[in-house]
Amino acid sequence: SVAFTVHQSGIKYSSEHNADGYNLNNEASHFAFYINHNVDVVINDLPQWIKATVVADSVVVDVDANTTGFSRSVYLKYSVGELSDSVLINQESGVVFMVEKNQVSIDMNGGTDEVTFMSNFDVTIGTLPDWLTVSIDDDVITFSADKNDANAVREVDVVLNAGEVTQIISVKHEFGLTFNLAKNNIALTDGV
């Protein structure tokens, strides 16, 4: 007779991905992480902007450039037999939006004030009051108002967005009283 040992190990799995996930800039990216396995690796469905494939002992990840203006993230989830794991992938928006100043003032008689800005993404304007118009041309934001007949200072915070980046510019429309005298000369008598 002959005696021999039979050893059955089952599923073998280990990986060497970044435990905190991967933080990417807004440009297209390509990277891989090691995965040791003895059964097929199945990758769950992913959004269109990211693709992952298993090549030998690696998960190869391709991420499209982010042109949305907003940061995005996804858990890349996969399973090895009955075991499952995931890795977080974050991608920055890449939006840069800066304004020269965050306060403008318009004279009581009306007029304009301008703010220069820099943005690599389209700038949108939030809701405005009836008395104010805002226009954007190249690298200048123009704030305009007619004469202030409201008998009070008018103020509003204008919200400007470039993707996920927000800038707030406070607009003040000055107010003043105007007096028109009917007579230029007033004579006072003694006791009056």
Q: Classify strands 22-24 and 83-91 as parallel, antiparallel or unpaired.
A: parallel
- Each residue's pLDDT expressed in tens, for the chain with a length of 192 residues: 777 776 566 778 888 888 889 999 999 999 999 999 888 999 999 999 999 999 999 999 999 999 999 999 999 999 998 889 999 999 999 999 999 999 999 999 999 999 999 999 999 999 999 999 999 999 999 999 999 988 899 999 999 999 999 999 999 999 875 555 555 555 556 655
How far apart CA 85 and CA 50 sit, in angstroms, is 17
Distance from C-alpha of 72 to C-alpha of 89, rounded to nearest angstrom: 8
What is the pLDDT at residue 4?
Answer: 74
pTM: 0.75
State how far the Cα of 65 lies from the Cα of 49, in Å rounded to an integer.
Answer: 8
